[in-house]
A and B are shown apart, each in its own frame.
Chain A
Amino acid sequence: MEKAALEQEVRQIADSWKGKDGNLIMVLHQIQNRYGYVPRNVSLVLSEILNVPLARIYEVITFYHFFRLTPPGKHTVSVCMGTACYLKGGPELLGELEHLLCVKPGESTKDGQFYLEVVRCLGCCGLAPVVKIGDKVYGGVKKKDISGIIAHYSKEAEAKAAA
């Protein structure tokens, strides 16, 4: 996107928060909602619009686990490692996913289809162990279920669904 168009888009996002104290985190949330991560050129534009140094923006982005500096894969696979899920087999699920997708947490697959991450408690501990793909929560997951769940979101499956 060219700078002018980008600037307009970012301005639109930032405008509703302009002038409010402590707005930076809220604006970053909206930016990540829009782009899936916080691209550097957006931060540059934002720094101008909000009149805060770029360093301040990066200081905040890097402190909070929630914000990402690189684009995530198409589907975010979140493995819960909260206490309940940890005790009930979260680590095995993570191992299986690492093995199947050939990535470590915080990485995307080569085809850009999946982004694997570890999260702390999704607030549905009663269903432990929990894996979330996109917005869909899978509860009581067993190691042997993983490949089936993942297959559902693969490129091939999507191509089939589209056809």
Chain B
Amino acid sequence: MAKTVFIKDTAITGKDRTRDFYGLFLGVLREKGLDTTIQLVRLADMGIYSAGIAVRVLPDNHLYTQVGESDIAGIVESIKTGQPYQPRLTKQASTQMRIVLRNCGVIDPEKIEDYIAHDGYHALARCLTELTPEQVIQEMKTSGLRGRGGAGFPTGMKWEFTRKSAGDQRYIICNGDEGDPGAYMDRSVLEGDPHSVIEGMAIGGYAIGASKGFFYIRAEYPLAIERIEKAIKQCHDNGLLGSNILGSQFSFDVEIRLGAGAFVCGEETALLASIEGKRGYPSPRPPFPSVKGLWGKPTCINNVETLANIPVILFKGGEWFSKIGTETSKGTKVFAVTGKVKRSGLVEVPMGTTIEDIVYGISGGAMSGKSVKAIQTGGPSGGVIPKDYFQTRVDYESLQKMGSIMGSGGMIVMDEDDCMIDIAKFYLGFCVDESCGKCAPCRIGGTQMLRLLEKISEGRGVPKDLEQLAMISRAMQKASLCGLGQTAPNPVLSTLNYYRAEYDAHVNDKKCPACKCSKLLSFLIRQDKCVKCGMCFKACPVGAISGNREKGYVIDQEKCIRCGQCFEVCKPAAVLRQ
């Protein structure tokens, strides 16, 4: 009965109690004379986080969490019998739940038969044979699904508005522009499960009374385009697109239009202009696209992830879907967790999961040796959420309350080496680059803010600059024409709000606490630590280091360009960066 027991304190804050607990456990085993047959192992990582002391018994594969001293005897007893110790038994339910990504990596995306075998096009068939368009819309309203493209508008309502708008022709558009740099959920769905998006669109077309749909996909995703093209052709061959689909009265077809590298074209009115073959300038709303959209006709624009949810909802029912998630945010959300995180990748969780569960539980926390500082959600329109607030649950309202937004699902993890002013500058720089230039608040305000941030990061900032930043932000939020300008100040405002001290350090002390803003850094060689190896001397690209292997080395501050090469090559860490 050789068994192995793994132990790990999974709490992320406070002292690591693994070792102490190990001692206690071993004591009990010795007492019972089991210390020779049961091997006790302390683990550095168990893939479980924030669950107190965790104990796993192998080969039984029983997992216990939140284990206290008083549980040890019970667990040891259960190891003997092989029956689990109920009070602390935990099912390692993966916190992930796959609805949108249900088929990704499971089916062959180039085979329609595979999709059909996984309940594909059953929902469309059900709609066409059993439900009226009004009933489909009702089902969507029951489900509580909200748009996954950013704004979170209820999809059922959007469909209803479009259906009720008068017009001889209506359109449905799939927004596959995925502009948020650092996010790739939509790409994965388009590439991994193209038919589910087409089915979602066809159902939407039926519900709103559209006979024509467009895919708007960014040109940077050639494989996604290829897969959708193939899928459309397969649908034609199988009577799932075209006239009288599945023998019904409903005729519907889709076409692909490509983006051409303009972020603003993700915004719905700019997207319409782009499909019409024009510059992607946004236009004021109202009129909303649901009233006056593509070529002036009522148009419904839905995001890729939104559409991929739809076949499941109509297959399993809106009621079923509405049971997942929180009161106001139903279903799941896919996040692209990237940046300074151990396991970056796509994560699909029910709405209401805590950030902590996502960042630590699923994605494994920071890369080795570092600690997480904050996350950023919502891309250039969103904000940062510091580690102290990781108990926040992801749903539309909670994230908004934190000064960020759900956005399309980018979740960037930042660690202690990342400077918040630098992050704000990065996002704002992005928006300035991508501003279409049509309205003044966004065009001018953005540039002014960027200049201020540059000034601050170069150590030329004055306290008044921070007020100025806040003031321009308010003007942009109120007066910009489209969502790009209205939300562009968010990364600045949220970092100002949570990391005011960091801004102050740049402005008042001319220091960058994260040692990122190169103009504020200085490098010094600590003579007490220097081993006179000369590595820094060799590494310096501008010859700012002088000396020799007898006397040691010094850095000429005048010549130094603060590239950090000496800091990187110094083995005994004798180069001080501050």
Contact = CB atoms under 8 A, between A and B. Distances in A.
Interface residues of B, number: 42
B208 interface: no
Contacts of B182: 82-85, 121, 125
B219 A29 contact: yes
B183 interface: yes
B276 A84 contact: no
A86 B336 CA distance: 16
B132 to A, nearest CB: 31
A44 interface: no
Interface string B398-418: 000000000000101010001
Given A66-B219, A121-B183, A84 B279 contact: no
A145 B276 CA distance: 44
Contacts of A126: 338, 344-345
Contact of B277 (A24, A119, A120): A24
Interface in B351-399: 376, 379
B502 to A, nearest CB: 16
Interface string B253-284: 00001111111000000000011111110000
Given A22-B277, A23-B277, A119-B220, A125 B260 contact: no
A83 B339 contact: yes
A65 to B, nearest CB: 4
Interface in B432-468: 436
Interface in A24-38: 24-26, 28-29
B161 interface: no
A87 B414 contact: yes
Contacts of B219: 29, 66
Interface in A89-138: 119-126, 128
Contacts of B336: 125
A92 to B, nearest CB: 10
A157 interface: no
A83 B410 contact: yes
Contacts of A66: 219, 259-261
Find the residue from B182, B279, B345 having the highest chain A CB count within 10 A. B182
A60 B340 contact: no
Contacts of A84: 181-182, 338-339, 344, 412
A67 to B, nearest CB: 6
Contact of A63 (B178, B180, B280): B280
Contacts of B276: 21-22
Nearest to B380: A83
A160 to B, nearest CB: 30
B53 to A, nearest CB: 32
Shortest 5 CB-CB contacts between residues of A and residues of B: A83-B182, A82-B181, A64-B260, A22-B277, A65-B261
Interface of B: 178-184, 187, 219-221, 257-263, 274-280, 295, 336, 338-340, 344-345, 376, 379, 410, 412, 414, 418, 426-427, 430, 436
17 contacts: A22-B275, A22-B276, A25-B260, A25-B274, A28-B260, A60-B279, A65-B260, A66-B259, A87-B340, A88-B339, A120-B181, A120-B263, A121-B184, A121-B220, A123-B221, A125-B184, A126-B338
Given A22-B257, A23-B277, A59-B278, 16 more contacts: A22-B277, A24-B277, A25-B257, A25-B258, A63-B279, A66-B219, A66-B259, A66-B261, A81-B181, A83-B410, A84-B338, A86-B426, A87-B339, A121-B184, A121-B220, A125-B182
